[in-house]
Structure 1
Amino acid sequence: MRNDTAQPLYQQLEDQLTRLIGEGTLPPGTTLPAERQLAERLSISRTTVQRSYNALRQRRLLSAQGRLGSIVQGPGPRLHSGMDRLKGFTEEMRELGRVPSSRILEREVVTDRSISSIFGRPSNAAFLRLVRVRSGDGVPMSREAAWYNLERAPDLATDDLSGSVYARLAALGLPLVRCDQTIEAAEPTEEECAIFGFRQPVPCLLIKRRSYGADGDMLEYVEGLFRGDTYTYRLTLTI
């Protein structure tokens, strides 16, 4: 903090935090120090920190999260995704004006009795297990673990899946036509906190989805954890 300027200390702090958020040094999901803690660290009054934090909350750059303190919201608005039809992450991000990207963490052909039961397949059935970090404009939005029915789509075991798997399924003549989906609150694991840049766990949305082809066969099962600080779902109901 500078003493050689007429700008009040709280505005200096607000400007510095705004710059750090805008540069990405403090990415969305970052938990800022408590007011008293930051005041002691910077040798300024708690009131100064409080005024700065309040100003940033009014600008929607910070959000109060109770015992978690103040969490960076980021310079952009929260994403409001519609639930009016089945669509993959890639299509969803493009509709929201974001550039989608994926990073594959794990990819393997597995047999799993629990997954076989979900698909209604024999216990020795083979599935492609794909774990990815899905991002919008370079910001990690979700970590998802997905399983795909290799009996129906064996090409997925060797295909390039860096883009949309839904588009690849459609190209194979297996477009998804419907899904059953549930959404529940969940706390991210230590690994997921590291992916999202959370210093402390932030409530997230756990989405479980079973997707089916035109003949009614289940082709995909997904468990995706979406960050709750920037992502909301919008549902329109009609009578």
Structure 2
Amino acid sequence: MLQVISGSGQTLSSRLRLNADTARPNYLQLEQQIGDMILSGELAKGDTLPPSRKLAVELGLSRATIQKCYDSLRRAGLLSAHGRLGFIIEGGPDKIKPRMERLKGFTEEMRELGKSASSRVLQQAIVRDRSVASIFGVPSDSALLLLVRVRYSDGLAMSKETAWYDVSAAPGLADKDLSGSVYQLLGEQGVGLVHCEQTIEASEPDEEECDIFGFEEPRPCLLIKRRSYDKDERLIEYVEGMFRGDAYAYRLKLSV
């Protein structure tokens, strides 16, 4: 069984560190560390992890603890069980590498990358929210369309997005099926988005988002906030999206 981390000459057990000064269970500490090694490529796809009994002896832990760690990584899709061969590394999801030189929606972004986009609508309603209205610069009792969706790429949950739209600019939007491209529907109503302001920051998913992404424990994610405007500088869309950090790598082209 392969126990050496690519090119390092070190066994897996020698790279793992358990912190006794924490209430976090040992199996979760191991899951996080081994999972990070897989997602970073430090452990390569096709490698076999040490048998649970052997790793337990090397770390001074119970076999049940190692098995629980392995099982959790298997449920996350990072390992697969192969009988007497033990657990084989499957690798993390392929990173999506969208370009950011122009404004485009998730559906178009996935199509350009050769992937199939889909959505699950969690909430679609007309709301009145004073704090969000202030972002749009409209009266506090103004009607806004709230849309909460989970966005998928080839069936893998990539993000949970919470978006608000100024329905006075596109009054028919609220009655549409919004599981597809909202940008396309806006265009059909003569509302063209011409530019946006976007910020990206590191964040930690909440319990609901961990469940959506299949995380046993919170993992680093990207919180993307976007304000999209029409040609008259009218704010049409405000979005806050939590994107899984293990599957996204943004590309920027900069010039002097």
Give the alignment's TM-score, normalised by structure 2. 0.68
In structure 1, the residue matched to 2:149 is 132
Q: Which has the higher strand share?
A: 1
Q: Residues 148-195 of structure 1: CA distance to partner in whole angstroms, max 9, x if unpaired?
A: 001111111111111100000001000111101111110000100000
Alignment match of 1:186 (pick from 199, 203, 206) = 203
Q: Secondary structure at the match of 2:211?
A: helix
Percent of pairs identical after alignment?
A: 56
Correspondent of 2:103 among 86, 109, 118: 86
| Cα drift, residue 72 of structure 1 | 7.2
1:206 to 223, 230, 243: 223
Q: Is the 8 A contact 1:204 1:229 kept in 2?
A: yes
- Compared CA separation, residues 10 and 175, structure 1 to 2 (3 A): same
Q: Retained in 2: the 8 A contact 1:184–1:205? A: yes
Counterpart Cα distance in 2 of 1:73 and 1:144? 26
* SS of equivalent residue, structure 2 residue 209: helix
Verify: 1:43 aligned to 2:53, yes or no.
Answer: yes
Structural mapping, 1:3-152, within 5 Å: 8=1, 32=31, 42-45=52-55, 73-74=91-92, 76-152=93-169
Q: How many angstroms apart in 2 are the aligned matches of 1:229 and 1:112?
A: 33
Per-residue Cα deviation, 1:6-28 (whole angstroms, up to 9, x for no partner) = xx4869xxxxxxxxxxxxxxxxx
* Divergent runs of 4+, >3 A: 8-11, 31-35
Q: Which amino acid aligns with 1:106?
A: Q
Q: Is the 8 A contact 2:119 2:151 kept in 1?
A: yes
RMSD: 2.8
